[in-house]
Structure 1
Amino acid sequence: MKKIGFLSFGHWSDSPHSMVRSGADSLLQSIELAVAAEELGADGAYFRVHHFAQQLASPFPLLAAAGARTSRIELGTGVIDMRYENPLYMAEDAAAADLISGSRLQLGISRGSPEQVVDGFRYFGHEPAEGSTDADMAREHTAAFLEAIRGEGFARPNPRPMFPNPPGLLRIEPHSPGLRDRIWWGAGSRATADWTARQGMNLMSSTLLTEDTGVPFHQLQAEQIRIFRDAWAEAGHDREPRVSVSRSIFPIVSDLDKQLFWRERHSTDQVGHLDGGDARFGRTYAGEPDKLIDELAEDEAIAAADTLLLTVPTQLGVDYNAHVVESVLTHLAPELGWR
């Protein structure tokens, strides 16, 4: 059994061909898609975070609003770029959104991806310490965030406060118990998967890996998952970890599906360069359900993961994206043993 959700980048464009014309459209339609996905029986609504782009950027108002409109579906991010974050302010926002949702947040965080601007985190007031990198800074912010959401006191109270304080050091408020176990790291390599496990975070792996060994994408990703699980066991954590993978999957069951995705039915992995190194990009799965069932049954990384996130074409609108989710749930998931 797998949890199946969607992952939206929240793109908008004023193009006449786009169903998402503005930032307001993107935010409101994201909430409506979460509601629709829950009604269809999906398990998760996840949102990408990109700064300085016509895409979703500020996740916590969106997650809180979606949490208030839904009752069961998991709500998450994939991923928040920790180079940009104030860890303690983020801890407050995350706890508040989690409490509003009834403890349904699954927060994916990471070092981030290539940006729209040069060193965009500097505009947010964050500078790597002398001798360290922006990746080091992201991990430092992460460590501070994880410590804050544990709920332990660390701040010295004012001896003459406006309101009475509880005894001892003060913690970030509000506190949401259990949130620490629902933090995921978006790992782009096998080495980062090992590090993720040792930090006690769940593993989130997308359709891109920032390395290439010459094997198909799904096999390289399956190796990444094995390394993560081995490192988790070695670290001796007292809970079972979760692992998600993302895929672009489009069953062709209507004339519109065929019009949009027929050309993708022979998609293959792609190898390129990203941030100065090799990278492997996973293929798109598109075709008639019988064909996809056979192909997806061979995907070793999906088999190894407990959660599958379907990347959706946001600008096609809520109805079509709900159709994509429903098609996977009804035409593929039962035959593959996912549901």
Structure 2
Amino acid sequence: MPQTSTPLRKLGFLTIGLFDEADPRRGHESTLEIIALGERLGFDSAWVRHRHLQYGISSPVAVLAAASQRTSRIELGTAVIPVGWENPLRLAEDLATVDLLSGGRLNPGVSVGPPMHFDQVRHALYPDTAEAEDFGYGRVERLLDFVRGTPATDFSGVEGIEVFSDRVQPQAPGLGDRMWYGGGSLRSARWAGEHGMNLLTSSVVKAEESEDFAEVQLSHIRTFRAHHPDRDRARVSQGLVVIPTDSATPEQRKKYEEYARGRTPRTATPQGPARMMFAPDLVGTSDEIAERLYAHAAFQEVDEVAFALPFTFAHEDYVQILTDMAHRLGPALGWRPAD
């Protein structure tokens, strides 16, 4: 097996938190159980996606608030919150509150752009202000300012028996340094670096200067660090779909392979007008996956990952996959579980 020059320092995982419409509590409980399992297995971080008007986690901050009370060490992240759905000031309050409840373990990841299917949802989401809403980077800048303590108003002091602050309250020390941007383009990578954020790279990128996924992702990582105040020390987390099969049953292996096979055609060429490139899902033994990762140009540039769990698998599948990641794949990448 080839050896990486930089051992993997942080191992995390990402889940979408699907649920059955007839029993949504069970799906949310499953997500919380998976996060608690991740902590017991020694993972460094657990991340949740968002899904609005779908059967997945619609309120990742609320779910992580619950997770913060069932865990004590593992970092908790969002990958990612599309801020087009959010009021930056209110989101800053929620993030700071959960960060304090977790003991400083929150890692909020965000992205920009109009809400998905905006033409269909605009009248429910922004009935009077849809045309005026800023869905660009400025919305994230407002969020960063509020999280980092920039005044939100010119008023503070005592009014009657109430005391008012000019900053969002509570303030969570260090949270501003743990803000992540989910970027898939050179422009986003540069912007995130210039604004001192951390960078989340996923299994989807924009094919701009190449049609080789690893080369494109590598260019994003290097562009981000070139424009970040910390340069080569700036944090980047890679998120690919990774499915180790070491302890899987024959039935599970067949399901995993069929899942990946069905998604493979979209990885061959850029998709749609935006020319989006998708990374192949990595299915196999931990040794086989480690060898493929060592050969991945972008993986060679990072020392932390948040491997994505497939969307549609069962709870017991996630238990098997996470257990193999912690016991076999992580160590094969030079990672050591947290105490």
Which bin holds the TM-score, normalised by the shorter protein?
Answer: 0.7 to 0.9
Instruction: Tell me which residue corresponds to 1:333.
Output: 330
Two-structure CA RMSD over aligned residues (Å): 2.5
**TM-score, with structure 1 as normaliser:** 0.86
Instruction: Tell me which residue corresponds to 2:139.
Output: 141
Distance 1:89 1:186, change over 3 A: same
Contact 2:50/2:56 (CA < 8 Å) preserved in 1?
yes
Contact 1:264/1:285 (CA < 8 Å) preserved in 2?
no
Asked if 1:225 is matched to 2:226, the reply is no
**TM-score, with structure 2 as normaliser:** 0.86
SS in 1 for 2:252: helix
Instruction: Tell me which residue corresponds to 1:197.
Output: 193
Contact 1:26/1:56 (CA < 8 Å) preserved in 2?
no
Identical aligned pairs, as a percentage?
A: 29
Aligned equivalents of 1:246, 1:113: Cα separation in 2:
23
Matches within 5 A, 1:204-283: 204-232=200-228, 236=229, 240-253=233-246, 254=248, 255-263=250-258, 267=264, 269-274=267-272, 276-283=273-280
Matches within 5 A, 1:84-95: 84-95=85-96
Larger deviation, residues 120-129 vs 72-81: 120-129
Instruction: Tell me which residue corresponds to 2:3.
Output: none
Matches within 5 A, 1:39-118: 39-111=40-112, 115-116=116-117, 118=119
Q: 1:261 Cα deviation (Å)?
A: 1.8
Instruction: Tell me which residue corresponds to 2:14.
Output: 7
- How many pairs were matched up? 322
Distance 1:61 1:5, change over 3 A: same
SS in 2 for 1:24: helix
SS in 2 for 1:107: strand
Instruction: Tell me which residue corresponds to 1:17.
Output: none
Instruction: Tell me which residue corresponds to 1:174.
Output: 170
Matches within 5 A, 1:112-131: 115-116=116-117, 118=119, 120=121, 123-125=124-126, 127=129
Instruction: Tell me which residue corresponds to 1:299.
Output: 296
Contact 2:252/2:317 (CA < 8 Å) preserved in 1?
no
Contact 2:237/2:306 (CA < 8 Å) preserved in 1?
yes
SS in 2 for 1:69: coil
Unaligned runs of 5+ residues in structure 2 are 1-7
Contact 1:148/1:172 (CA < 8 Å) preserved in 2?
yes
Q: 1:150 Cα deviation (Å)?
A: 1.5
Instruction: Tell me which residue corresponds to 1:157.
Output: 156
Aligned equivalents of 1:114, 1:287: Cα separation in 2:
36
Unaligned runs of 5+ residues in structure 1 are 15-20
Aligned equivalents of 2:293, 2:159: Cα separation in 1:
63
Distance 1:83 1:303, change over 3 A: same
Q: 1:25 Cα deviation (Å)?
A: 2.3
Aligned equivalents of 1:217, 1:161: Cα separation in 2:
60
